[in-house]
Chains A and B, each alone.
Chain A
Amino acid sequence: MKGDSVIITASPEDIEQISKLNNFMFAGATLRIKAYERGSTPPSAGSEEKKAVSQSAQETKEKFRAILATRYDGNLKLLNLSALAQDAGLLEMGFGTFDGKTTSKLFPALMVVADQLFKTWQEKRDAIVSVSLANNGLSDVSGVTALAQTFPDIKNLDLSSNNFKDLKSIASWRWKFRSLETLVLSNNPIETQEPNFNVEIMKWFPRLQNLNYVQVRTPEEVAATLEAVNTPIPISGPDFRDVSQVGENFIRQFVALYDSDRNALLSSFYDAESVHSIAINMSAPRNREHSTPVPGWDAYMKHSRNLVKLTYAGPRLNRRYKGIQAIQQVWSELPATRHPDLATESAKYLIECHPLPGLADPSGQNPGGVDGLIITMHGEFEEQNTSTEKALRSFSRTFVLGPGAPGGSPIRVVSDMLGLRAWAPLAMPSNQANIATQAPPPNVNIEQQQKEAMAGQLMEKTGMTMEFAVLCLEQTGWQLPQAFDAFQQNRDKLPPNAFIAGIAG
C-alpha cells in the first residue's frame, strides 16, 4: 500500500487480465491499474533511482535465496533458520541480533523472498513442514513474527535455546500455527520461570502432540478434541422421513431428468404455480485440501437471488421464476449438468425429507390445507459444456412437493430453491454420531460416509472474501483466505519500503 495505491505481484497472464479492470468503477472510485516490471518502484520515484533500487533489490534477493538454499533440507522438509547471527552471508548483509534495526527488517524480507519461491500455498505446505529458529537469542517473537504469516501451516517448530522467559514473549503466536504438532521450547528460561507453561501451550495449539520431546497428546486425542469443538451437534446420517416413497421416487427422477431432459422434468412435476429461484453464495468457506480455482459464475449471475446482495424489490420479483415457461427459459440458459449417480455415488449426497403440513390443495377440497413433503438435497454436479476444465459445483436444493391438481401429475413441485457455492466435499456423518437410530435413505453407503467423515475432520477449513480475490488470487494459489490474510497482515505489519524495493534503501 502506498497512499491510495495497492501494489501487487502477478504473473504476465494475470497482469493482462487484471489490466482489464483499468478505469473500472469500484466502491465509488475509478480504479487505475497499470503494470510495472518486477523490481521496479511505483512511478513517484525518479527513474534513475528506480533503476538503482531495482538492481540493488535484485542482488539482495539473490543473496537471500542463496542463504535459504543452504538452510533447506529437502529430505526433512526443514527450513533451518537456527543461529542466524552466525551466518556469514547474513552477517555480511548487516544482520546482528534480532533487536537491531536492520535485523527487524531483514527477517520479514527473508520471509518475503522465501514466500516467492513457491507458486502456490499447496507447494509451500508440501515443501516446508518444519522450521527451526533455535539458537537465535530471541527474547520474544516480535522480530520473527513474519514466520507465522509466511508459513502458517508448519507442523513442527523448534524454538529451543533462545531467551524466552514467559508465555507473554510468545503470546503473539497464540492464534497462529493452527496445524502445529511439535514444539520445542527446551533450553529457554520459560522452563524454570513458568513451570506450568506446558499446560497453557497445549491449550494454545489444539493439534500439538509433542512438546519438548514429550508426547502430550495422541493423534486420536487430537482428532477427538477437534471433533468435539468442530461439531458440538453431532453429524448424523440423513433424516429421511418419506411418505410412500414419494420423496425417494421424485429425487430419482429429478436427478436423472435434470441432467438429460429438463423439459420432460418440467412437464412431469412442475405447473403454472411452481416457483423456482437460484441463489449463489460466493463467500462459502472452502476446504483447504480441495482448493481448486472456482470456475466463473457468469452463467448463473443474472439469475442469482441471494437476498443478502439483492436488496431491491424489482430484481427480487424478477428473479423469482413462476410457472413452467419462466422456469424453462432459465433452465435453457443454465449450463448442462451431470449429477453423480444416486445408486453408485450415493456418498456424494445427503438428502433429507420430512412431511410438511399446510400446503394449498389444488383440488380446492381442503381449504384448511393438505400435507406435502419438504426435501433438501446437498450434493454436487459437474457442468458439461465447459470445453476442457471440469467445473464442479456444490449445491443445496430444497423442494416442497404437494399433491397435484386434478387431471395432472399426482405430485407437483410447489417450490424448487437452488443454492450454489464453490465446490467442497460434503461433511459426512461422524463416527460418534448415533447412526443406528437414523433411518438412512435407500442405497446410502454408511461405511464410505464414515471414512470420508474421518478424513474430512482432519482437514483444514477456511473462509474467503470476494473483494480481494481478483487482486490476490493467482499469487496465493487461489487460496482465498490466505490471500486476504496475507495481504492484510503484510499491509499492517510492514512499512511500504519493507518490501523488496525497500531492503536496499
Chain B
Amino acid sequence: MAEPADDVQVKVASDAAEKFVESYYPALNNPKGRAHLADFYIKPTEASPLQADITLNGNTVADPAQLQSIFETQVAKAQYEVQSFDCQVINTNYNVGVDSTKLGPNKDGKKMSILVMVSGSVKYFKESTDGETRGFTENVVLVPNWEAQGPKAPKGLKKWLIQSQTFRLVL
C-alpha cells in the first residue's frame, strides 16, 4: 500500500474535521448529548494504553469520564458556536495502537492523525442568568477509531476519536 495522495489527505481530513465540529459542539449544547461525551475520545486498552490528553482553560482533565462529568455537573447550560475551523494531516501513517504486522501506510487515508483548530463563540447560562458572549479556541488531534475499521466492525461507531484536546476561552 502507498501513502495517501495529497487530495485524498485533504478530503479525508476535512470530512473528519467537519464531522467532528458538527457533532461535538451540538453534544456540548444539548444536555442529553453530554451523557455521550466520553464516546468522542480514544479509550486506553491493554494493547494501546494511550489516554486522551485533555486540557480545558489550562486545567488538566484526567480522562474523558472526568470531562463528561465537568460538563454534566459544572456547566449548567452552554451555547457553543463554531465560526471557523481548519485542519491539517499530522501523520499520514499513524500507528499508535496498530498491530506490528500492519504498520504499512493506507492509501485511502484511514491511518492518518489530523489536527483540527476551531475558533468560535460560547455563552454560558446558569439558572436565569445569561453570561456574556465569550470567544474560544480549541484544538483537537483526531486519530482513527480502529474498532470502527475492518469488515467485522460494528456499525454506527465514530470513525475518528480525540487523542489530544486543548480548549481555552480567549475572550
A contact set with B: CB distance below 8 Å: 175, 203-204, 206, 225-226, 228-239, 275, 277-287, 305-309, 313, 316-317, 320, 322, 350, 352, 354-360, 367-369, 374, 376, 378, 394, 396, 398, 400, 414-415, 417, 419, 421, 424-427, 429, 433, 438, 460-463
Q: B83 an interface residue at 8 Å Cβ cutoff?
A: yes
B131 touches A307 (CB 8 A): no
Stretch at the interface among B32-40, B112-120, B150-158: B112-120
Q: Given A359-B90, A417-B115, do A378 and B170 touch, yes or no (CB 8 Å)?
A: yes
Contact pick for A237, options B58, B78, B93, CB 8 Å:
B58
| A360 adjacent to B171 (CB under 8 Å) | no
> Of B84, B121, B164, which is within 8 A of A285 by CB?
B121
What are the 3 closest A-B residue pairs judged by CB atoms, nearest first?
A: A236-B58, A281-B84, A279-B86
Bound-state CA distance A407–B70 (Å) is 46
Q: Which of B122-171 contact A (CB under 8 A)?
A: 124-135, 137, 139, 141, 143, 163-164, 166, 168-171
B171 proximity list for chain A (CB < 8 A): 284-287, 424-427, 461
Per the bound structure, the CA–CA distance linking A367 and B93 in Å amounts to: 9
**How far in angstroms is the closest Cβ of chain B from A413?**
11
A275 vs B169: C-alpha distance in the bound complex, in angstroms?
A: 26
Tell me the complex Cα distance, A185–B170, Å. Answer: 39
B84 touches A354 (CB 8 A): no
What is the predominant secondary structure among interface residues of chain B facing chain A?
A: strand
- What separation, in Å, do the CA atoms of A421 and B84 have in the docked complex? 10
A307→B119 contact, CB < 8 A = no
Q: How far is the CA of A235 from the CA of B128 in the complex (A)?
A: 23
Q: How far is the CA of A350 from the CA of B167 in the complex (A)?
A: 12
Kindly report which residue of chain A lies nearest to residue B134, judged by CB atoms.
A461
- CB within 8 Å for A275 and B88 given contacts A238-B58, A356-B141: yes
How near does chain B come to A56, taking the closest CB pair, in angstroms? 42
Is there an interface contact between B59 and A308, defined as CB atoms closer than 8 Å?
no
A360 nearest CB neighbor, chain B only: B91
Select which of A234, A279, A280, A368 is within 8 A of B59 by beta carbon: A234
Is B46's CB within 8 Å of the partner chain A?
Answer: no
Asked if residues B127 and A285 are in contact (CB atoms below 8 Å), the reply is no
Task: Report chain A residues within 8 Å CB of B89.
Answer: 275
Residue of chain A at shortest CB distance from B120 = A281
In Å, the complex CA distance between A429 and B76 comes to 21
Choice from A358, A378, A425 contacting B91 with Cβ under 8 Å: A358
B85 within 8 A of A: yes
Q: Which residues of A contact B96 (CB under 8 A)?
A: 357-358, 368-369
Q: A236, A322, A368: which contacts B100 (Cβ < 8 A)?
A: A368
Q: Which residue of A lies closest to B91 (CB)?
A: A360
| Contact A233 to B10, CB < 8 A, known contacts A286-B171, A352-B55 | no
* B128: nearest chain-A partner, CB-CB: A203
Contact between A358 and B6, CB atoms less than 8 A apart: no
In whole angstroms, what is the CA distance A236 to B58 when docked? 5
Query: In whole Å, how far is A478's beta carbon from the nearest beta carbon of chain B?
Result: 17
A277-B88, A354-B53, A400-B115 in contact; A426/B139 too (CB < 8 A)? no
> What does the 1/0 interface line of B18-30 toward A look like (CB < 8 Å)?
1000000000000
Residues B130 and A175 in contact, CB atoms below 8 Å apart: yes
Q: B129 to A277, Cβ gap below 8 A?
A: no
Cα-based distance from A30 to B61 in the complex (angstroms): 52
Q: Contact at B84–A419, with CB atoms within 8 Å? A: yes
Across the interface, A359 reaches (CB within 8 A) one of B86, B91, B129, namely B91
B68 within 8 A of A: no
Q: A232-B124, A308-B85 are in contact. Are A398 and B117 (CB under 8 A)?
A: yes
Q: List 24 A-B contacts (CB under 8 A).
A: A203-B127, A203-B128, A230-B131, A232-B74, A232-B76, A232-B124, A233-B70, A235-B57, A235-B58, A235-B169, A275-B88, A282-B84, A307-B84, A352-B55, A356-B163, A358-B95, A360-B92, A368-B95, A369-B91, A374-B115, A378-B168, A398-B117, A438-B59, A461-B133
Residues of A within 8 A of B85 (CB): 279, 306-308
Residue of B76, B93, B169, B171 with most chain A CB atoms under a 10 A cut-off: B171
Chain B's nearest CB lies how many Å from the CB of A321? 10
In the assembled complex, which residues on chain A have CB atoms less than 8 Å from the CB atom of B58?
Answer: 235-239, 350, 352, 429, 433, 438
Tell me the complex Cα distance, A424–B131, Å: 18
- 4 A-B pairs besides A233-B75, A357-B50, A417-B117 with CB distance below 8 A are A232-B76, A358-B96, A378-B170, A429-B58
Contacts of B121 in A (CB 8 A): 283-285, 463
Known contacts A229-B124, A281-B119, A283-B83, A203 near B100 by CB under 8 Å = no
Cβ contacts under 8 Å, B93 to chain A? 360
User: In the docked arrangement, what's the CA distance between A274 and B28, Å?
Assistant: 33
Q: Which of A284, A352, A427, A429 contacts B119 (CB 8 A)?
A: A284
Report the separation of the CA atoms of residues A421 and B170 in the bound assembly, to the nearest whole angstrom.
11
CA distance A275 to B114 in the complex (A): 12
Contacts of B128 in A (CB 8 A): 203-204
Instruction: Write the B42-69 contact mask toward A (1 if CB under 8 angstroms, else 0).
Output: 0000000010010111111000000000
Chain B residue nearest to A320 in the complex (CB): B10
**Minimum Cβ distance to chain B for residue A231 (Å):** 7
CB distance from A243 to the nearest CB of B (A): 13
In this complex, the member of A282, A358, A433 whose beta carbon has the largest number of chain B beta carbons within 10 angstroms is A358
Minimum distance in angstroms from A27 CB to a CB of chain B: 19
- Does A376 lie within 8 Å of B168, measured CB to CB? yes
A317 to B6, Cβ gap below 8 A? yes
Known: A284-B135, A417-B115. A307 touches B86 (CB 8 A): yes
Q: From B132, which residue of chain A is reached at the shortest CB distance?
A: A461
A203-B129, A228-B126, A232-B126 given as contacts; is B92 within 8 A of A306 (CB)?
A: no
CA distance A236 to B171 in the complex (A): 14
Query: Which residue of chain A lies nearest to B129 when distances are taken between CB atoms in the complex?
Result: A206
A239-B59 in contact given A231-B124, A368-B100 (Cβ < 8 Å):
yes
Q: Which residues of B contact A426 (CB under 8 A)?
A: 170-171
Kindly state the separation between the CA atoms of A231 and B171 in the bound complex, as whole angstroms: 11
In contact, A421 and B55 (Cβ under 8 angstroms):
no
How many angstroms from the CA of A472 to the CA of B70 in the assembled complex? Answer: 40
